[in-house]
Structure 1
Amino acid sequence: MKGKKILIVGGSTGIGLALAKRVSEDGGEVLIASRSAFDKQASIRSQPYLESCTCYSVDITVESEIKNLLEKIGKIDHLIFTVKSPLIVSPFLELDLKEVRHAFDTKFWGQYSFAKLAHEYINDGGSIVFSSGTLGKRPYNGYSTLSTISGAVESLGKALAIELAPIRVNTVSPGFKTLKELEEKIPLGLGSDSQISNSYLFLMNDSYITGTTIVSDGGAMLV
């Protein structure tokens, strides 16, 4: 990561913030963008290794805001998405379509639109890493929205790996971090932000991987 410029979209909390620390510790220049990143910049910069990171506010559902952000920051080496979808847990037949569309606008269309606008800003040898979720591979009752979004994101990553080459495009599928009822069933237990961030770092560093989804779930899909 030394000397590289990395934009982490959704990096003000959780996995994104943990990844920002790792990248900065390894010598990378960290840019964090989210709806709340600019307002939280004092708190973010108080974190280890993030004293000099740059924070931007952006709503990834608004194309003009994405364009303005990219014009401000210029060329980058890696574009990383750690955005989260609004949590929708409801039987399929009872879903509110407005809530479903909002979730798609954020988690799927947000990543889609950002990647489409940002590809020309990515330096040679750079990459894009999307975020999906293990529900895309193993659905649970009530989680059809998140399952569908995750599957769509992974398909997008594979398609763009072909269309945007030599820019590398990959996806990380994080497992469960907070569902305590699953903790004892998962071979390695619930994941931490720091543990899951390793997969994003690996995909940035490996120059011969593209079109791949790394599942970081502690073995949850085995049980």
Structure 2
Amino acid sequence: MNLQNQKVVIAGGSSGIGLATAQLLSSQNALVTITGRDTSKLEKVKTEFPNINTVLLDSGNSQALQEFFSTNGKFHHLVITVSGAKGGGMFSSLSLADLREGFEAKFWPHVQTMQAALPYLEKGGSITIITAASTDARLPGTSGLAAINGALEMMIPILAKELQPLRVNAVSPGVIDTSWWNFLNEQDKKATFEQFSKQVCVGRVGQPEEVASAILSVISNGYINGSILSCNGGLG
């Protein structure tokens, strides 16, 4: 599929995987709009990448989502990279308040964004969401994260049936070097990356650009639907 002049909205696209995806799709001559809550990040994107349109928007605000999509009008592809850093930890001591916040930061913004966008998505278009390898990696300390991302992944094949011919897919990254890990100090983050590097076949953590490439593949291939594409370096 040629993405030239196709309109793409990337929710949460001001940094990390979302920004890498915006840059890649823009290089394919797509007309890209990113949304985000951080004004400074959006201003930086606007300065460095003038071809990418930026909109200040909280994906957790249903009314703001409705207003944005009604103003934005018809478009072809929706990518949702909204996330939060809470929900991890060993279950015996897992803060249920943090887990609830994790759902509020990721699950509900995804669902609200998809629903608000539906009336404006072209029939031949697509929705691509970003989940995580925690759903099936069976790693201790990730049960909460698996619950959040697994809830989203369970919806994918059903939505693909309900919303056809609109395509609905997910890309499931492994450990990716983004600001998501900034809740750790540099020393702990380095140790965590080294540990995960030993568990993946490629022997290293991933980069946002690699996930962006997977997202491009899903968007541009009109025969991929109802699927969850892993991009985890061979996490075992």
Q: TM range, normalised to the smaller chain?
A: over 0.9
Please point out which of 176, 181, 185 is paired with 2:199. Answer: 185
Deviation at 1:180, TM superposition (A): 2.6
RMSD of aligned residue pairs (Cα, Å): 1.4
Deviation at 1:93, TM superposition (A): 2.8
1:15–1:193: 8 Å Cα contact kept in structure 2?
yes
Deviation at 1:83, TM superposition (A): 1.5
Q: Which residue of 1 aligns with 2:27?
A: 25
Unpaired runs of at least 5, structure 1:
none
2:15–2:41: 8 Å Cα contact kept in structure 1?
no
Q: Which letter maps to 1:98?
A: A
Q: What pairs with 1:9-158 in structure 2 (closer than 5 Å)?
A: 9-36=11-38, 38-47=39-48, 50-158=49-157
Mapped to 2, the partners of 1:86 and 1:196 lie a distance apart of 18
1:130–1:157: 8 Å Cα contact kept in structure 2?
no
Q: Which residue of 2 aligns with 1:218?
A: 233
1:85–1:146: 8 Å Cα contact kept in structure 2?
no
Deviation at 1:42, TM superposition (A): 2.8
C-alpha deviations, 1:56-104, integer Å up to 9, x for none?
Answer: 1222222111111112211110000112222333222322222211111
Please point out which of 198, 204, 207 is paired with 2:219. Answer: 204
1:131–1:153: 8 Å Cα contact kept in structure 2?
no
Q: Which residue of 2 aligns with 1:3?
A: 5
2:86–2:101: 8 Å Cα contact kept in structure 1?
no
Mapped to 1, the partners of 2:129 and 2:47 lie a distance apart of 27
- Runs of 4+ in structure 1 deviating by more than 6 angstroms, as ranges, are none
C-alpha deviations, 1:21-56, integer Å up to 9, x for none?
Answer: 1111110111001111x4423311343xx2122111
Q: So what's the TM-score if we normalise by structure 2?
A: 0.88
Unpaired runs of at least 5, structure 2:
178-192
Q: Which letter maps to 2:44?
A: S
What is the aligned length? 218
Q: So what's the TM-score if we normalise by structure 1?
A: 0.93
Q: Which residue of 1 aligns with 2:182?
A: none
Question: Hey, which of these two has a bigger chunk of helix by percent?
Answer: 2
Q: Which letter maps to 2:217?
A: F
